[in-house]
Amino acid sequence: MNSKLIKELPDLVENDVISKEVASKIEHYYLSRQQNTPNKLFAIFGVLGSLLVGLGIILILAHNWDNFDRITKTIFAFLPLIIGQLFVAFSILKKKSVTWKEASGTFLFFTIGSSIALVSQIYNIPGNLSAYVLTWIVLSLPLIYLLKSNAIAILNIVFATFYAFEFGYGYYTIDQTPWLYLVIMALIIPHYIHLLKHHKTSNITSIFNWLFPLSITIVLGAFVQDASELGFLMYLLLFSVFYNIGKIPFFNTQKLRKNGYLIFGSLGIVIMLLTMSFDGFWYLEEFFLNTQETYISIVLFVANLGILLFVYSRKWLKEFNLFQYIFILFSILYILGLNIPIVGTIIVNCIVFVLGVTTIKIGADKFHFGILNYGLLIITALVVCRFFDTNMSFVIRGLLFVGVGLGFFFTNYMMLKKQKSNVESLKN
């Protein structure tokens, strides 16, 4: 990115935008900064290399070499692990660079897995996959803190998600809940908090900003047991938590693409509500009181409320945004609406519409074409959904489509015009 700027410099000097002196100062500044930062690309390739070698070793050992006797196989089970440990010990003792620590840590991570796998293979230990992955995670998790390694933290989140998925959705363990997933994630959080404090805007932190909500979204369903009707409420409350976290100024002032919470939360809420805007959804059975799902819903509700109160006490709540309060409205609706389907359907449709309008307004206020069109898309999606399940006449449906289409043209045109006039006024 900087090299692009440096390439532009001669052109800027030629056209008298900046002086030669300024150009050389800018060049000097970027060059000196480049020398001070360690080569990130090298670290990434180091990790990728170790990852591939580690996975390769697992695959080679999985061939299950018949010709070797048990002792040779046992040596092979330990050899990669010990090599990995020596590399890590070396990078700790010699205080090697981040690249060394990340790469050797990643390699050790995979050799832990290969060693347990090979022993299971030699002795025909029947494996349920989730228990195996759990052992792997437990043995590698402390490395996150000993090496201050982001790669191992990411691998641990991915594997923890896999563990919870296997454990919670698996055929043999369908009625079990992966509570240990929460413990693992809680153990990774201090590393994440450290990143947020010291490397707030760096790319690696934003990867975690996406990975955490993604992992939790995948896993939450594994916490649903019998009362699957409450699953929808749980997910809506979870997305609301994400949205409210994303709206905390710490995240909200960052670039949108680095704020995984906000995007996850917003998309999640809209998709959940669109699903529930169908007539058939609200014909549900009774409400469950004493179930695991009820308690999780309550915990998520309280978390939402806690974040909102915290934000309010810090005076960060400047304007009303329906997205942030949707969880209250929805929880009430969920308890009451189950018995009166038509009320649930109508209110959810109204909520989606209002959310669409809210988003359009936010987009217009911020001069953000992306957000503006996202709002229009919400309303379009709502109209499309109604296209399928209502008895409206074709004329009305047609008019609705034409209306939304015109809305797209009109709002975008208005905004472009406003932007142009702003630029003009700046020029004058």
Residues of this chain that bind another protein (CB under 8 A): 58, 61-66, 74, 77-78, 81-82, 85, 88-89, 92-93, 95, 112-127, 129, 132, 135, 139, 142-143, 146, 172
Least CB distance from residue 314 to another protein, whole Å?
33
Q: Minimum distance from CB of 85 to another protein (Å)?
A: 5
Q: Which is nearer to another protein, 58 or 180 (CB)?
A: 58
Nearest residue (CB) to another protein, 7 versus 63: 63
Q: Which two tokens stand for residue 145?
A: 């803190």
CB of 223 to another protein, least distance (A): 20
Contact of 283 with 341, CB cutoff 8 Å: yes
Phi/psi region, residue 124 (left: phi>0; alpha: psi -120 to 50; beta: rest), is: left
Question: C-beta of 6: minimal distance to another protein in Å?
Answer: 39
Measured from the CB atom, the residue of 88 and 296 that comes closer to another protein is 88
Q: How far is the CB of 116 from another protein (least distance, A)?
A: 6
Least Å from the CB of residue 151 to another protein:
16
User: Of 109 and 264, which has the nearer Cβ to another protein?
Assistant: 109
- The nearest distance, CB 167 to another protein, in angstroms, is 14
Q: Least CB distance from residue 118 to another protein, whole Å?
A: 8
Residue 333: both structure tokens together? 């609706």
Give 349's Cβ-side CA count (13 Å radius).
Answer: 18
Q: How far is the CB of 396 from another protein (least distance, A)?
A: 53
